[in-house]
Structure 1
Amino acid sequence: MFEELQIYESPLMRSSEDVLAAFAWEEVLCKQVGQGHPPVAHLWRHENALVIGLRDRRLKGASGVLQSYESRGIRTCVRPSGGAAVKLTPGVINVSLIMPNTDRVINIHEDFKKMVSYIQEALLPWEAVAKAGEIEGAFCPGDYDVSIAGRKFCGIAQRRLAKAYLITAFIIVEDHGDDLAAEVREFYDAAAKGEEEDYPQVKSGTMGGLRELAGVPSAEAYMNSLIQVFRKQAVHVSETESKVSGEEVEKMVTLLRERYDRD
């Protein structure tokens, strides 16, 4: 339970917008939370992007593949939090909980479990039961994959700063899982260039969207349900405008790109 929680739902980011800006915004806000800003729940989507992990960026052909994606209008970035490649569309929700850690004592596993419980509770209007546990062959694999009937629709990662941290998740709602899996597999096949490299082996039949798995009608419907779940976790809730400036975001975009997106 939070004493206070601020909820931000960002407008849909268009293909023309740099997807890294969403992560930069959260990075700036995470620092503010470490300095006394209330905890934050942030929900956002991007029209057409591929977000990869740091290990993905180290694949031999990654740089060239990302450049070709950008030339095709698919925005790309290297995510500062953990995890691997994820395809973003308007039907994929990104959600982050940004929380203070002034005492530097956290239990990431417990926080992962809490995020799973929020995602599960938001499915109750559709009477769907989701489970946590790695789904072999899914993209962005992890111990806290969230699935229905053995097909993953959500992955969870974390990011720690000095006095704050965030738990972040992607949630597939409207898209067909096999279609997204094929796009992510295409990235890995091209970036690895046929070399024997360690990267996720994405398989068909492992991913799904909540529309096909649980009858959730839209990303907006699930976001509204998830926001209601978050509202119940706090004594005081506010949904206000962000006080993060555009200049702060631009500076952080440059810093994150220099730090993580390099050969």
Structure 2
Amino acid sequence: MREERSILYQKTWRIIDHTSMGPQFSALQSFATDDTLCHIAGQGSSVAIARAWVHHHTVVLGIQDSRLPFLEKGRQYLEDNGYRAIVRNSGGLAVVLDTGVLNLSLVFPEVDKRIDINRGYDAMVELIRYMFRAYDVEIEAREIVGSYCPGSYDLSINGKKFAGISQRRIRNGVAVQIYLCVEGSGSTRAELVKQFYSIAKENVETKFVYPSIVPEVMASLSELLQIELTVQDVMLTFLKAIQDHSDSIYSSQLTEEEASYYEGYLIRMQERNEKFIK
């Protein structure tokens, strides 16, 4: 039986670069953007889209995090340490975003054929392994116990996690999202989330089991590869990898039609956050 070709290979990839939007660019805007692109791709109005984005000092919480018994205390701790907290609309738990973290989204249309959930994850793993193929390291995809936002598609080198993947599906569109800790200290970011959970949960018994974070199991790619790697370095590697997996690529921003959808998705994100974070 012929092996199915990876969905990472697309005839045309559309590139959207949101890595230089500055500190006023909210993660709420990013999640609204990916919802918009899911919607557009799902209705067949766009080719596959590869988007890159960076945010300043933000902790992105999951839905379960928003149910922590002392959430407001935890949010205040983050704020006191210079971080804004928002609640996202995709799965997972708390993650740290800052200028040393590169976020990538691959948005696929399901117009012709449904994309199995694991196939979406596998495409992102394939991309990251391809991007760092020049280094003598093995990138594993498995849960790293003790990391923040643990999952079966944690990416690690020598047992230390540097990335996590999530998915979002809307109207026959699939967005596979990853955060890559590129610069700085992975364990320092993990310590921030560890303290957040300690304050927001205290010793209360909860139905949901929140992760017991061990900061030492997390690291940045700069630490793991032992080189001075920057977000822009990885961004260039990402663009080259996308180019290598297509016949053509082109760069764009949201169209007028997409911008109208975006406004609606942004309002939903804002309303969600007004409900959870006072």
Task: Give the distance between the partners of 1:261 and 1:141, measured in 2 at CA.
Answer: 26
Q: Are 1:251 and 2:259 an aligned pair?
A: no
Tell me, what secondary structure is at the counterpart of 1:5? strand
The 8 Å contact of residues 86 and 273 in structure 2, kept in 1 or not, is answered as no
Which ranges of structure 2 fall in alignment gaps of 5 or more residues?
Answer: 1-8
Q: Are 1:18 and 2:26 an aligned pair?
A: yes
After TM superposition, the structure 1 = structure 2 runs for residues 56-71 of structure 1, keeping only pairs within 5 Å, are 56-66=65-75, 69-70=78-79
In structure 1, what is the equivalent of residue 6 of structure 2?
A: none
- Runs of 4 or more consecutive aligned structure 1 residues displaced over 6 Å after TM superposition: none
In structure 1, what is the equivalent of residue 134 of structure 2?
A: 125
TM superposition shift of 1:20: 0.8
Tell me, what secondary structure is at the counterpart of 2:124? helix
Task: Give the distance between the partners of 1:71 and 1:251, measured in 2 at CA.
Answer: 31
The 8 Å contact of residues 78 and 261 in structure 1, kept in 2 or not, is answered as no
In structure 2, what is the equivalent of residue 150 of structure 1?
A: 159
How many residues are aligned here?
263
Tell me, what secondary structure is at the counterpart of 1:12? coil
In structure 2, what is the equivalent of residue 165 of structure 1?
A: 174
In structure 2, what is the equivalent of residue 99 of structure 1?
A: 108
Q: Which amino acid aligns with 1:236?
A: S
Q: Deviations over 1:119-142 (max 9, x none)?
A: 111112333321111111111100
Tell me, what secondary structure is at the counterpart of 2:13? strand
CA 1:13 to 1:65, structure 2 compared with 1: closer, same or farther past 3 Å?
Answer: farther
CA 1:200 to 1:247, structure 2 compared with 1: closer, same or farther past 3 Å?
Answer: same
Return 62-71 or 182-191, whichever deviates more. 62-71
In structure 2, what is the equivalent of residue 241 of structure 1?
A: 253
In structure 1, what is the equivalent of residue 203 of structure 2?
A: 194
Q: Percent identity?
A: 30
The 8 Å contact of residues 102 and 181 in structure 2, kept in 1 or not, is answered as yes
Q: Deviations over 1:25-80 (max 9, x none)?
A: 11112111112211101111112100011111111122443355447642221111
Task: Give the distance between the partners of 1:142 and 1:228, measured in 2 at CA.
Answer: 28
TM superposition shift of 1:229: 1.0
TM-score, normalised to structure 1, is: 0.92
Return 216-225 or 135-144, whichever deviates more. 216-225
Task: Give the distance between the partners of 1:66 and 1:44, measured in 2 at CA.
Answer: 23
Return 78-87 or 120-129, whichever deviates more. 120-129
Task: Give the distance between the partners of 2:107 and 2:274, measured in 1 at CA.
Answer: 23
Task: Give the distance between the partners of 2:263 and 2:84, measured in 1 at CA.
Answer: 16
Q: Which amino acid aligns with 2:134?
A: P
TM superposition shift of 1:199: 0.7
TM superposition shift of 1:261: 5.7
- Aligned match for 2:234, one of 198, 208, 222: 222
In structure 1, what is the equivalent of residue 191 of structure 2?
A: 182
TM-score, normalised to structure 2, is: 0.87
The 8 Å contact of residues 145 and 155 in structure 1, kept in 2 or not, is answered as yes
